Structure 1
């Protein structure tokens, strides 16, 4: 070994001794406590189960919801990656996951579809706006197709909103806040209020009661109305600004209770009533010829949930009953005067109503067969029914009369209809009529409007008039009759032999069915259509009958 190698060995040994001498002396007794850095261990059932799910699952916990300072579930889920908002032409909100259509997103509240199959038509995503954030325990967002577990409605994904249950400790929670826009005159025109009281554990029972009232703020359009060049009086009318979605008042009252009979049996109850009164205004251009559209939506929904959780031996089971009913009315008005103080400025365009009921009864059970095998099984019963004007292909239709005063006071003018009353006649009251349209199946099996019955009272081909309303207009039959010697109509249109034959056939039928008019009406065909389409009830009385009905009698 040369001298340089021995020198390196001495240097290494000297360094080790120096480090040992400078190290602090620590003597541990047998029972001495050892402290380390803080170690956080977090694990919840929902988060652990999400790890086993083949789809991407996001769990939004209660603490995360509180940090977001959200007002509704809508404010929470649309901050998640891959979740976006859609708004249709009627202002209904949709939830799109990873670009899928909104109708392919299933919205659940405590594992139950909010509106069953009806959500395809009404937009179940409005529920994310209807649910206040204060009463939510967590939100589970499944991104990607989940049809195998949740059905065909979950092609795009699932949003499952889990609400709070009754708490073990007595608790009182009160939230109040005010909001305003820059242009608002009042200090806080939009207000939110929430209160919840929990009794805590009272023997085997614990209950909770909550209530909230929220003002949903409008989402104003950022694009100005289109300049049409015909807005001569536009500035005078002071039309309301365009709003992209409904806004207004929403209130909610809820009750939850849990009764633990023993360690093997637990009963839970959840009752909820929700009401809303929302509006929306739209006007696309500044043209005086285009009215402003005013949409109004009122809804109330009652929900009941009862569940029994039990276990015995190697088995456990859950029996759950859910019932919900929602009544919704949508009204559309138009007006050309903006914020006018004059009555009668609005025109009622349509009323859309729905009464939807849903009942679900489910039994789910698990049995541990051995250390490696567990059997899960269940059975369910579901019944869904509804009525209203929104349902398509409904087996039952009806006609009803409404009082316009119930929808807008400015629709009623001295309780009289100015369009049809005569001077000094105060007997005609204002009413709106929702018509029961008749539909028949076409040759291809598709439903189509039966215009021949609505216009002419014809139920068979033989009862059709032969001369249509279009012929009446095109040939000027209101001006006079078709003469036997002329080759042109009263408005100088050429007449074919086929048209002349159809005209004469209708004339003969009208004269036979109205013998008192056969010799007194020189233009009985024209009178049939002319007087039948009149808006004056006195004029309509003069219309000849065909198939026992005047023209448009069934339609009106």
Structure 2
């Protein structure tokens, strides 16, 4: 890593001194911090976070309620080494340890979502789509996890684990958000859930939510965001087949009626409409064995999007795109205690994906014509069949050393087989301090969009033409990670050094055509494997329980992210972190609150603009439980009303919420 200790700064020096103290023995009279949080995402088995070698963070239900998180973007605000860009016309970008949105795998209960797959849109819309009312916790694994999850898990995994029915109950909540300088702008969230509790052998949760988003206008009447309505319906059920044997079913339905305003060719205002739908179904069997447990499940999803563009002046149709994705997956794994000190996990999956639409142009097979109004476009379809097997051993070498080797083999009809190995180790230096090591490889297979895209679209007055490349190779990474963590009395902390070398990165070869005045009028881009990245960094996490009601937490990340020619990678900060003060009065009907500062130093918004940004945002949220049936929440994000159009910072946001249970 380059220059990381040249000017480490006071925070890094503080973290080194604190973590050195954590490695010392803990005296008997001191009370150790409770670190019994459990993860299932890092190894697919239940494991204490302090035991697992992987860099894991868990955002609990209490955390979500305390900060008033409405969606996944809200929930990730204070997470270590994660940067979430503010929502714009192309959704929200999320980077994990400097890896792009498309390099992080977002799961719901361990299942992949069927979602956008292009170079620019992977995961970006999910940060607003995934709501938090039904979420029990979020598990984040930083660093490649391809040895267990395959493609997309190049930068890490974000696994959203939903709540389970406990007792028969109705829940209704309302949570509006408004910009403080324009109280007519914001969004409204409505949520309704029915928990059946245990009724015979069945238990169910049925829920529905709606988000209505207002337009945020620019001076010329165009919009900075997608506005309109988003609806979700979810149904999850579990049937007890026998002792320790369960049948799980789920249905998830998404409908979006969204709009945008842009500038068409020649500067004419244009209204865009996006009618999107997604249906997902899942059926699974899980249970316990004499010496372990197992799970097998299948799930299917369809996503359909219809985008239409109209002149604002007369409503004439000027363009459209239509596409439909289908995905079917069969997967399973079994974990068995093969010896007193070996827990073996083995599994596999097969997946079939089909994509049919106009944005493939004639790049795929089965070319067709589709007509809307007086416009006709050509489209085609493509498919990918993939399969994988993996194996992992949790080897307890002795009382101090845990070693977890794992390897996965992925194959496909579109790319050659890929092997993803990983080795993780946790060494207990003493009862309250640990040294952790991870070495592994990750990969991301090119999507059908990347390979077969043939898209021509007017964006902001410029014609954009994007061409795919069927000869693309998977992006691959090699990563190393060394961490020291521990707890001493009421203090806990972790210091991590990580290296991630990425090759065969998919990028674009872009040619821009300008008019006589030098204004860009056309941009032609083609995907290719030509880039690489060296992403190194240091993470620091420190917390201390100040009293029985107050907790102070800090996290900091230094990131050195460069590309093939040594240039800095955009949409990343060299320094970022949060300072958090948590309060909980520990009463049955009590108050919890959090005040936090999130800051970035030397953030590079765009490679076209070499000016770095340095800024910080103050936020506060208070949650009050009045009784068993009613709670409320009130908060402000960006208290001091920071604004920056390039960063999509639009000022202070006041958010409130009321939840009723009966």
Q: TM-score band (shorter)? A: 0.5 to 0.7
Task: Give distance in 2, aligned partners of 1:139 and 1:433.
Answer: 44
- Of residues 285, 294, 319, the one that matches 1:317 is 294
> 3-state SS of the aligned residue for 1:66?
helix
Tell me the matched-pair count: 349
**Once superposed, what is the RMSD of the aligned Cα atoms?**
3.3
- Residues 121 and 395 of structure 1: CA distance in aligned 2, closer, same or farther (over 3 Å): farther
Q: Is the aligned partner of 1:211 residue 2:192?
A: no
Q: Deviations over 1:91-138 (max 9, x none)?
A: 233211222222212222221221279365642231121111101111
Q: In structure 2, what is the Cα distance between the partners aligned to 1:321 and 1:208? A: 20
Q: Distance in 1 between matches of 2:237 and 2:282?
A: 11
Instruction: Look up the match of 1:168.
Output: 166
Any idea what the Cα deviations from partners look like across 1:343-383, whole Å, max 9, x if unmatched? xx234232112111111111211222222233322232211
Larger Rg: 1
Does the alignment pair 1:346 with 2:315?
yes
Q: Which residue of 2 aligns with 1:398?
A: 368
Q: Distance in 2 between matches of 1:50 and 1:220?
A: 45
SS at match of 2:365: coil
Question: Scaled by the length of structure 1, what TM-score is found?
Answer: 0.57
| Superposition map of 1:442-453 within 5 A | none
Secondary structure of the residue aligned to 1:71 is: coil
Output the CA distance in 2 between the equivalents of 1:103 and 1:307.
27
Contact 2:90 2:125 in 1 (8 A): no
Residue 158 of structure 1: SS of its match in structure 2? strand
- Mapped to 2, the partners of 1:254 and 1:378 lie a distance apart of 28
The one of the two structures with greater contact order (alpha-carbon pairs below 8 A, sep at least 6) is 2
Q: Shift of residue 184 of structure 1? A: 5.9
1:163-208 Cα offsets, whole Å, 9 max, x none, are: 223x12112211023344467686x984221011111111222111
Partner of 1:46: 39
1:242 has 2:223 as partner:
yes
Q: Deviations over 1:374-416 (max 9, x none)?
A: 332223221111211123631122112223xxxxxxxxxxxxx
> Contact 2:37–2:49 (CA<8 Å) still a contact in 1?
no
Query: 5 Å matches for 1:111-510?
Result: 111-115=110-114, 118=117, 120=119, 122-165=121-164, 167-181=165-179, 190-218=187-215, 239-243=220-224, 245-283=225-263, 289-335=266-312, 337=313, 345-391=314-360, 393-403=363-373, 431-435=374-378
- Output the CA distance in 2 between the equivalents of 1:163 and 1:365: 22
- Distance in 2 separating the partners of 1:447 and 1:177: 41
More helix by share: 1
Aligned to 1:65: 64
Distance 1:147 1:246 in 2: 33
Measure the CA separation in 2 of the matches of 1:185 and 1:88. Answer: 19
How far did 1:303 drift?
1.0
Contact residue 55 and residue 145 of structure 1 kept, 8 A: no
Q: 1:55, 1:146 within 8 Å by CA — same for their partners in 2?
A: no
Q: In structure 2, what is the Cα distance between the partners aligned to 1:268 and 1:279?
A: 36
Q: Secondary structure at the match of 1:91?
A: coil
1:57–1:374 Cα change, 3 Å? closer
Q: Is contact 2:229-2:257 (8 Å) kept?
A: yes
Q: Indicate how the Cα distance of structure 1 residues 117 and 218 shifts in structure 2: closer, same or farther if over 3 A, else same.
A: closer
In structure 2, stretches of 5+ residues that fail to align are 1-28, 41-46, 381-450, 455-662
Distance 2:104 2:331 in 1: 22
Residue 129 to residue 436, structure 1, CA distance change in 2 (3 Å): closer
Judged with a 3 Å threshold, the aligned counterparts in structure 2 of structure 1 residues 141 and 220 are, in CA distance, closer, same or farther, namely: farther
CA distance in 1, matches of 2:34, 2:354: 48
Matched residues in 2 for 1:384 and 1:356: separation? Answer: 7
Deviation at 1:66, TM superposition (A): 0.6
Whole-Å separation in 1 of the counterparts to 2:289 and 2:316: 65
Unpaired runs of 5+ in structure 1?
1-35, 225-238, 338-344, 404-430, 438-445, 450-556
The within-5 A match list for 1:14-53 is 41=34, 43-46=36-39, 48-53=47-52
For 2:51 and 2:228, how far apart are their aligned partners in 1? 42
Distance 2:287 2:143 in 1: 33
Q: Structure 2: how far apart are the matches of 1:264 and 1:212? A: 33
TM-score (ref. length: structure 2): 0.48
Match of 1:123, SS state, is coil
Cα distance in 2 between the residues matched to 1:79 and 1:218: 27
The 5-angstrom pairing of residues 513-528 of structure 1 reads none
Instruction: Give me the whole-angstrom Cα distance separating, in 2, the residues matched to 1:88 and 1:214.
Output: 14
What is the alpha-carbon distance in structure 1 between the residues aligned to residue 197 and residue 31 of structure 2? Answer: 32
Q: Distance in 2 between matches of 1:448 and 1:277?
A: 25
Q: Select the structure that is richer in strand.
A: 2
Q: Is the 8 A contact 2:116 2:123 kept in 1?
A: no
